[in-house]
Structure 1
Amino acid sequence: MNNNLAPTYQRLFGSYWVLWYETSNSYSVVDDDFKHLLYDYLECVSFDAFKSKIARVDSSLDADTIAKNLQSYLEQCNAEHGSDELLSTDFIVSKRKISKQYVFKDKAFQVNFDSDLIKKTIHPSIAHLETENNVSPSVIFDIYIESDQLCLFKNEVLVRIVPKQNYHFIQGKFAMELLSFIHDNEESDWLGTFHGSTISDGENSILFVGASGKGKSTLCALLTAKGFELVADDVSPMLAADSHIYHNPSAISIKKGAFSLLRPLVNGFDELPDTVFNKTKGVIKYLPCKTPNKNHYPCRAIIMVNYTKDSDTTLELRSIKEALETLIPESWLSPDPLHAKSFLDWLSKTPLYQLTYSDTESVTEEITKCFNRFKNH
């Protein structure tokens, strides 16, 4: 068989195997039976040899269909994803209609937009970093639409171009470029940026993940009001060198449904500006948080968040399958094989939970108890 299609790494997590394919930088979670069947297939010298092996095990099985399904699975797992490398467009300086300057600690940067609508994709989450002082930015970003394509430039060099409706890809790429700038790293230094929010107790951190609307940002806002530190909201970057999650200075995005919950807990909540970018998300407020005491923290757990009205607060262990199905689809993970191995190493020692909650006090107590498990880790 074509062993070039075999997974680069395989790692057992309980009753599931996580397989990583270098060609596509993709992760697949399979059960033990499928994994052994897959390797039986890969180790056979031909389709006929595999069919004969299957027939010896159970003559009632349709060996031909099994072989075709396994080959199709391998081809899908090895399918390379497209990239922007072959795309190019010239920088258009006349698109600089709106300019904003920002400072984070000693890092100054500028972002230029071609319209108020495009400004709303980036500015509201970093508006608290805006400065009115005349600064000399170390890096200048430009974001604009040209021929229905949304373009992101860094120092007048194109770094991402996507159809304008896929603006979230530009948001993600901008976050990566900004985080690399403020932490003095290159994109190749990061293990990944997770679509999730990270909270710290000043010693360790926990990564909260979940689909949009499940309450992870609201939970982080609640926890910061109770004295925890916000490390990152929505985009949580992990450095390959230490597998720590680093501070992302973006504000927490709060949807209108959580306003009444947070209003009594957050001073000046109603003074925060309302932002409306599209009708599906509705009104959003961005809640800035103070900078954490440390620049980065080890991440000791992944918690899948599920806000359910009038529910009891429960924190239950979950399988790697559920966690990766939640974590991976909207996260960026490094294609570097050494980084992929580090990611699997980190996962292997990181407990995975599901949190169901509705009550503010009890969820704070539950997260506090969770952090206490990792004291002096």
Structure 2
Amino acid sequence: MNKVVVKKIEDKEIVWFKNSNSYLVLEPIAAAILLKINKNNSLEEIKTWAFKKITAPKKVVKKFIEDIFLLYTVNNTLKKEVQNNSGTYKIPTKYYSEKYYSIHNCIFKIQFQTGFHLLKIHPIFAHLETESQNKFHFNYTIFDDKDFIVFFKNDAFIGKWNKNETHLFEGKLSMHLIIDIYKKPETDWMGVFHASAISNKKESLLFLGDSGNGKSTSLALLNANGFDCIADDFVPIDNKKNMYTYPAAMSIKKKSLKTLLPVYPELKNAVEYHFKKMNKTVRYLPPKNINYHLKLKCKALVFIKYNIEVELEINSISKIDAFQQLIPDSWISPLEKNVSVFLEWFLELPCYQLTYSNNLKMIETVTKIFNNDL
């Protein structure tokens, strides 16, 4: 069984390591050596081959090959995972809060043991809250066990996370929501991207960029100008390359209020949340026209950035630059078949850098991308 997958990207090679589910961009000669290692070629066989291919002193070539061997070994050493036994946890009988949410014809009951748990999850789904129900489809239970957050679903243990890894817990809970909303197991999802996504009802665009670059503000402006919001911050794509709606509210930072209040006056009275650890203050804006039946292909990746000094600039960027920006904030399925789909999906998409301060021109440019008018 292959322990690596290699795919050409411009003049480089993308290498995926199965056991660590990690990616590297390498020079072709390094990738070729990795493939030989993966085929169980001996060190001596590889050296004989490399001496003919690499113009360098033999001492340098030997060291290079040894470094590649080490890289291969490190990335294909399985990490020992702590075995979590659900029998060791006693599910609480009392909770700080119990909330019910109506999402795509399903009722979710979520039990929060503490106010901290409630603050991490409830605000982005508050617009989906419904009255207490005698019947529900899914019961999510969140509680503390010493230094860990524990997550159960329908009395089945899902996992536990150290309290300084709450983002991993939030990611797992979000993954289970899309599994339950769309009735598709985790094995059917290609990946989830820390991004925003919009559609023109026929195709979608994925907006990427560091936190604070303006993804959510751009999404909100586009949502107010005829485009549908697919997702903000958590964009799921299945292994058929279809993008799905994730119904969380858009996270609007304080600095964006001046721009958005004229088109979303409801933000003026929206509850403000302060997250000290992340040093941010936000309000939440429910997306317009949530449509759970959309299954859209992605037309392009757009790395977006608000810059007061730039009215509007859009340029194609290299696949290598795009890949290195995309991977760190993404969850990609660890299954080899899904990895292959992901790499095909990425390599067939155009990639742009869009920098702007003029909102109208940004909206016009996005329209041009959809209409192939760039």
Asked whether the two chains share a fold, i.e. TM above 0.5, the reply is: yes
Equivalent residues of 1:95, 1:144 under 8 A apart: no
Q: Which residue identity lines up with residue 78 of structure 1 in the other structure?
A: N
Deviation at 1:82, TM superposition (A): 5.5
Residue 16 (1) aligns with residue 9 (2): no
Partner of 2:26: 30
**Residues 207 and 215 of structure 2 are in contact (CA less than 8 Å); yes or no, is this contact kept in structure 1?**
yes
Aligned residue runs from structure 1 range 1-377, under 5 A = 8-36=4-32, 38-39=34-35, 45-56=41-52, 57-60=54-57, 62-81=60-79, 83=81, 86=84, 88=86, 89-240=88-239, 242-293=240-291, 294-373=293-372
Shift of 1:206: 0.7
Q: 1:53-106 CA deviation, whole Å, 9 max, x = no partner?
A: 444543535123212211122123324355565454424223522101111231
- Partner-residue secondary structure (3-state), 1:305: strand
Q: For 1:112 and 1:104, locate their aligned partners in 2 and report how far apart those are by CA, in whole Å.
A: 16
Query: CA contact under 8 A between 2:17 and 2:76: conserved in structure 1?
Result: yes
Partner Cα distance (1:55, 1:117) in 2: 60
My pick for the range that moved more, 127-136 or 174-183, is 127-136
Unaligned runs of 5+ in 1: none
Structure 2 runs not aligned, ≥5 long: none
Secondary structure of the residue that 1:176 maps to in structure 2?
Answer: helix
Please give the per-residue CA displacement for 1:184-212, whole angstroms capped at 9, x wherever unaligned.
22222211111111110111001111221
CA shift digits 1:89-131 (9 cap, x unpaired): 4242235221011112311011111121210110000000011
Q: Kindly report the root-mean-square deviation, in angstroms, between the aligned alpha carbons of the 2 structures.
A: 2.3
How far has the Cα of 1:320 moved from its partner?
Answer: 2.5
Q: Distance in 1 between matches of 2:81 and 2:244?
A: 26
* CA-CA distance at 1:348 after TM superposition: 2.3
**Separation of aligned partners in 2, 1:126 and 1:120:** 11
CA shift for structure 1 position 301: 1.1
Inter-partner Cα distance in structure 2 for 1:116 and 1:124: 12
**Identity within the alignment, %:** 30
Report the residue type matching 1:24 in the other structure: S
CA displacement, residues 152-172 of structure 1 (integer Å, 9 cap, x when unaligned): 111122212110111111111
Could you tell me how far 1:315 is from its partner in structure 2?
A: 2.0
The answer as to whether partners of 2:216 and 2:251 remain within 8 angstroms in 1 is: yes
Distance 1:31 1:362 in 2: 39
Distance change >3 Å, CA 323–CA 260, structure 1 → 2: same
TM-score by length of 1: 0.90
Distance in 2 of aligned mates of 1:158 and 1:41: 39
Aligned mates of 2:102, 2:226 — CA distance in 1 = 25
Q: Give the total of aligned pairs.
A: 369
Residue identity matched to 2:109: Q
CA contact (8 A) 2:253 2:280 kept: yes
